[in-house]
Chain A
Amino acid sequence: MINVVKRLWKIEKDKDIFRSKTMKLDTNQLLRFTTAGSVDDGKSTLIGRLLYDSKSIFEDQMAAVEITSKRKGHEGVDLALFTDGLRDEREQGITIDVAYRYFTTPRRKFIIADTPGHIQYTRNMVTGASTANAALILIDARHGVIEQTKRHAFIASLLQIPHIIVCINKMDLVDYSEQVYDNIVAQFEEFSSKLYVKDIQFLPISALHGDNVVNRSDKMDWYKGAPLLYTLETMHISSDINKIDARFPVQTVLRPQRDEFLDYRGYAGRVASGIFRPGDEVTILPSGFTSKIKSIDTIDGSLEEAFAPMSVSLSLQDDIDVSRGDMIVKKNNQPKPVQEFDAMLCWLNNDTARPRAKYTIMHTSNEQKAMIKNTVYKIDINTYARDEDDQTLNMNDIARVTIRTTRPLMLDEYRDNRITGSFVLIDDATHETVAAGMIV
């Protein structure tokens, strides 16, 4: 293994050293993905393999991992060690939280949110999934679809991750059998038909040996699709952002006290969805005042249009009162102001939810007080069965709840808008983020 590494680097040096690092700046996109699998399905090995085969491992990292591999008595290099995190994890030999990894290819920059698959860590998966464009779900080819697989698929669909890639791993241990693969795909399709997922793909791989990860496998001629990395590099993601409903949550107001900008008042924020242009008729929520966009400003000049996820500053033609927590929207397309609504809630905290207690709700840049009026049903994420009797919400529970707020919020359904359709609850006694919600 060690020799292979040196050789790879040497080849790289001779040929085209900048292959994997120099990118076309103007078009290359960022893709965020999560990985889910139960313990020992090969998640760490797969990430290690992606980093290694895409030449994202540095020599000193390699050296450290070689030493640890040797100490642990592994033959060659244990690719899983590249994703090793904090001290506790090293001692316990598990990943305990969300950790982020980065790699770059000539086509894209990737951010991996690496989250563990233990039952108690639903909250970490939900966290990692909340910003992901794609989810990799790992299945051990020897075991096929298991309870955890259903859970991972459920969370990916709950969080509306646009693309799911099911990696059937350890194909080397089932003789690279097409039959085994087909059976697992059929098992997966059977239960996932109950879920709402936009795009599912299946891939037979061996993370350990590198089959169909970066390089196409020569042991599975029956598989005609592209390897994993190519799939990630070329997957169409720009259409995943909502371009219809223009939403601009105001973060802060810019009022420069400088001579040249004395009268300037800019509303700073990041476009959540849709497209804004100067001249657009807009409504400020919740006040309902209307105006027109005068200019869209950045330090590099004014823009003809702004779309998600751009951070800009909007100025309006009329002098009206706008502040943090307000939302600027197009006059002819407004979210609905509601004080009572249903949401899918994932409880993230050790303290059990207190029924009818007040929490702070954070929705875009807006904060209000809220209470959980009641639990409509709890969902068993392994069987997808609903329980309408159990009202308690414990860590890692997922439930449909009814929430009431002290003032109206400007909501969209999560299915239409991941930014204006999501919120968190904060416990005022501890200031901790205790729940994540998706509006239905």
Chain B
Amino acid sequence: MGKYYLNYLDELESEAIFILREVWAQFENPVILFSGGKDSILVTHLAKKAFYPSKIPFPLLHVDTGHNFPETIDFRDRLVKELGVELLVGSVQESIDQGRVAEERGKNATRNALQITTLLDAIETHRIDCAIGGGRRDEEKARAKERFFSHRDDFGQWDPKNQRPELWNLLNGKHFEGEHFRAFPISNWTEMDVWNYILKENIQIPSLYYAHERQVVWRQESWIPVSDFLKLEEGEEVHTKKIRFRTLGDITITGGIESDADTLEKIALEVSAMKQTERGNRSDDKRSETAMEDRKRQGYF
């Protein structure tokens, strides 16, 4: 007779698989929102487990800001090929070219908020009724009260005050034409859980997460990578540093941390000793206390 309980990582895995299977059973046309970051890679990995020996039965959707790390795109294309799944791409550049959105101006301009329009357009074009995201409740206070199945109205908006209660493991994905859902299978995972699981499962992640030498400038309290999109400001100097990224977003706003962690073990250990939250290095979240909530209400990831 063995022990009849799961350890916490196995329980989180089982919960995520359950949610992914519910998505597949309850929706006509779901997709995984794939950013190339560790959380969406994890969700994809869990989807592979949930439907094995079938292939993942839905496409990946990448909302491409055009400001990517080249490593992320390489990684994405390899993964899609290996899994044999379809890749859908929504292009922010196209949204700009079509006049759907206007590029932000000013010193800290980013394409972060512009993704909302491109995402919602892609959801409409492809008639997506459920977009599966890698959002975690420990990331940010607006995310802390997301449901596993989170309703979006026909404008793609979230109403945090008027959410459906979610009891036991009963997930209600019913919706009207034009509305859609976001599903968050790894809601209950923390950053540390994600790394411990990546380590345990030996999941492939982009090289950007491992310590590497890179040209960077010091801006807004973190090391911003030099790229075609970076305009040096007065007084800024290019340094070569051994850094790694803790989260991945646009190359223009994702700050790295100095680190020697070049294996998964070392990364997990480093994360366990972190004293700053992971989003602390993302300037999109530094704008205001409610930056995330404001974006999420409008339809952000």
Contacts and interface: CB of A to CB of B under 8 A. Distances in A.
Nearest to B141: A85
A255 B54 contact: yes
Interface string B140-180: 01101100000000000000110111111110101110000
Contacts of A29: 5-8, 11
Contacts of A258: 53-55
A311 B18 CA distance: 6
Given A86-B142, A100-B145, A21 B273 contact: yes
A9 B275 contact: yes
B72 interface: no
Nearest to A97: B145
Contact of B25 (A30, A108, A297, A365): A365
Interface residues of B, number: 66
A261 B54 CA distance: 9
Interface string A309-340: 11101000000000010000000000000000
A128 to B, nearest CB: 9
A100 B137 contact: yes
Given A268-B50, A424-B172, A58 B165 contact: no
Given A87-B293, A127-B166, A424-B170, A25 B200 contact: yes
A189 interface: no
A173 interface: no
Nearest to B195: A21
A341 interface: no
Given A25-B7, A59-B276, A251-B22, A270 B169 contact: yes
Q: Which label, helix, strand, loop or mixed, suits the secondary structure of the A interface? A: mixed
B190 A102 contact: yes
Contacts of A275: 4
B144 A238 contact: no
Which residue among A237, A275, A422, A424 has the maximum number of chain B CB atoms within 10 Å of its CB?
A: A424
A266 B4 CA distance: 23
A81 to B, nearest CB: 11
A362 B170 contact: yes
A379 interface: no
A432 B164 contact: yes
Given A96-B161, A252-B25, A431 B175 contact: yes
- For the side of the interface on A, what is the size category? 35 or more
A390 interface: no
Nearest to A422: B168
B121 interface: no
Contacts of B54: 254-258
Interface in A45-80: 58-61, 64
Which residue among A123, A264, A266, A431 has the maximum number of chain B CB atoms within 10 Å of its CB?
A: A431
Given A29-B5, A60-B277, A99-B144, A311 B21 contact: yes
A197 interface: no
Nearest to A304: B2
Given A60-B277, A102-B137, A27 B170 contact: no
B297 to A, nearest CB: 9
Contacts of B49: 298-300
Which residue among B21, B49, B55, B274 has the maximum number of chain A CB atoms within 10 Å of its CB?
A: B21
A9 to B, nearest CB: 7
A18 B48 contact: no
A131 interface: yes
Nearest to B137: A100
Nearest to B188: A111
* Nearest 6 Cβ contacts at the A-B interface: A21-B272, A238-B5, A431-B174, A311-B17, A299-B52, A30-B8
5 contacts: A21-B272, A85-B144, A88-B161, A243-B4, A313-B52
Interface of B: 2-15, 17-18, 21-22, 24-25, 48-55, 137-138, 141-142, 144-145, 160-161, 163-170, 172, 174-176, 187-188, 190, 192-193, 196, 200, 269, 272-277, 280, 289-290, 293
Given A30-B6, A101-B144, A264-B53, 10 more contacts: A29-B8, A97-B163, A100-B144, A100-B145, A102-B190, A254-B53, A255-B54, A297-B53, A307-B4, A313-B52
